[in-house]
Amino acid sequence: MVKTPIYMDNHATTPCDRRVLDAMLPYFTDKFGNAASRNHSFGWEAEEGVDKARNQIANLVGAKSKEIVFTSGATESDNLAIKGIVEFYKDKGNHIITCVTEHKAVLDSCRALERQGKATVTYLPVDKYGMVDPDAVRRAITDKTVLISIMYANNEIGTIHPIAEIGKIAKEKGVVFHCDAVQAVGKIPVDVEKDGIDLLAMSGHKIYGPKGVGALYVRSKGPRVRLTPIIDGGGHERGMRSGTLNVTGIVGFGAACEIAGHEMAAEAARLTELRNRLQAGIFERLDEVYVNGHPTERLPGNLNVSFAYVEGESLLMGISDIAVSSGSACTSATLEPSYVIRALGINEELAHSSIRFGIGRFNTAEEVDYVSERVSKEVKRLREMSPLYEMAKDGVDLKSVQWKS
Amino acid sequence: MSYSDKVLDHYNNPRNVGSFAKDDPSVGTGVVGAPECGDVMKLQLRISDDGVIEDAKFKTFGCGSAIASSSYVTELVKGKKIDEAMAIKNTVIVKELNLPPVKIHCSVLAEDAIKAAITDWKKRKGDTREAAAAEPAKAHKG
């Protein structure tokens, strides 16, 4: 018997790994110094912890340690990258290229700049698998383009973008390339050199590290990327991000990166197997189930599924002992389903029926089997209650119905 | 978001799920909402010749609050005269189920479903004057 509730929402956040916590603990109490204190051992000790973490993080993404700028999380990293570049390069141009399925931290940073009249933004569409076309990126570049911002892998549907191709185009055209790699770092190989990435946003808590810490990789050579800080103060992090360093968080983030790097190959294979097992378990029990996202180019632990004729939020309610996430945003005032799922061009009813499973380090095959059985049972119950399922079974084409809402 | 106990109860043990035969002349069917909005309710009422609701059944595609609202409505209307049922306001549903503000549309939809079902029944009875007011969704075989 599996222990419930089961946590299978590892794209939202992950539990802190015990090994990470152990690395952090001394920095709360004995090694509590301010890493910026240059004239006593307490400061040096804290700085040593930060330096080690900087190396661990840099190693995981093929960067140099001095290129890592610590932040409060990936949202801040995205803000710093986008707003910092636009401000710094304002004499060169004001055009940003991004994509409709980006995280809100990217989209809303772009929108804020548009609103302030500081930038014009091209939002590229995605194909039915949620992938952006590198040629579309190339075509969108103008002589005013100062930034391309495309995520490594999508947080809802797991689709991995052709980052190396986009990086190559950016380099050719001399445009800075920012990549929100929150879901990819530590899960799949990310290499800022091979991928041609100039700015890379990362987060601690998505890779079994603590919340409240993240980083922005800022390329130092070929080309040297410069940006205007969004937080001013003591000039920490080479002036790019002032504020006393979150030493405990940074130490934990570093430890999390080292563990993720060591275990990546084996863990990715294990997660892929579990994901396929979950998918097979659901598909053998139910008809009219559809996978959202790319069939092969996707994150190992990600499965996003639409269960036709069943509304996502009600399904979540029925499986309350399983923590997953719904693409339907029925709780928000807009009543609109996820903008990522909608961008795939699937019909609205299916968009309201999507569930995201995020399998992680601590999930087991037993849990996966429990989830596929439990979810399938609930979908069947809700379909018996669904007028849409009844109409479809009666041969009514739902598209031909004139709905009265 | 957490749900009230009453919403959970209706969701876990929905009352009167199902369908009556569509061609039964004593049955009025109301289908309201739209799949793209994430809510579709089908409410069917079996109504006696003298206008008393004898039985009710529902099917709902929607969130837990939408399912609970329609389940509750089937209990609420049974035994009521049609003019009493027509006068039911969504606020009664909001109060009974303790719906939060973001879920008020579910209760509005349930109120609309009652009106649509009764209107459909009247239309079937040949009373076209009142039926013109609220026409239920039309389904075409595809």
Contacts of A377 (CB under 8 A, 6+ apart): none
Nearest Cβ partner of B61 from A311, A318, A396?
Answer: A311
Q: Closest Cα to residue A105, out of A254, A233, A206?
A: A206
Which of B4, B11, B22, B36 to probe by mutation at the A interface, max A CB count within 10 Å?
B36
The residues of B carrying an active-site annotation are 37, 106
- Paired residues of A99 in beta bridges: A124
Tens-digit pLDDT profile for residues A36-93: 999 999 999 999 999 999 999 999 999 999 999 999 999 999 999 999 999 999 999 9
Count how many pairs of residues, chain A against chain B, have C-beta atoms within 8 Å: 108
Tens-digit pLDDT profile for residues A309-320: 999 989 999 999
Judge whether residue A24 has pLDDT over 90: yes
For residue A385 the two structure tokens come to 């209650």
Note the ipTM here.
Answer: 0.86
Any chain B CB within 8 A of the CB of A279?
no
- A141-155, B16-30, B120-134: range with lowest mean pLDDT: B120-134
CA distance A49 to A23: 10
Nearest Cβ partner of B140 from A317, A390, A400?
Answer: A400
* Residues on chain A touching B105 (C-beta within 8 angstroms): 335
β-bridge pairing A95-99 and A145-149: parallel
* Residues on chain B touching A338 (C-beta within 8 angstroms): none
Which domains can be identified in chain B, with CATH numbers?
5-141 (3.90.1010.10)
B87 torsion bin: left (phi>0), alpha (psi -120 to 50), beta (else): alpha
DSSP annotation string for A146-170 = EEEE--SB-TTT-BBP-HHHHHHHH
Cα dihedral across residues A88, A89, A91, A97: positive or negative? negative
Q: What mean pLDDT do residues B109-125 have?
A: 95
Asked whether the beta carbons of residue B38 and residue A398 sit closer than 8 angstroms, the reply is no
β-bridge pairing A95-99 and A120-124: parallel
CA distance B52 to B80: 6
- Taking CA atoms, B54 is separated from A174, B80, B81, in Å, by 75, 8, 9
Instruction: Find out whether the peptide bond into B100 is cis, omega within 30 degrees of 0.
Output: no
Which of B19, B32, B40 to probe by mutation at the A interface, max A CB count within 10 Å?
B40
C-alpha B25 chain-centroid distance: 18
Asked whether the beta carbons of residue B59 and residue A402 sit closer than 8 angstroms, the reply is no
3-state secondary structure of A35: coil
- State the burial class of residue A208 (Cβ atoms within 10 Å of its Cβ: 0-12, 13-18, 19+): buried
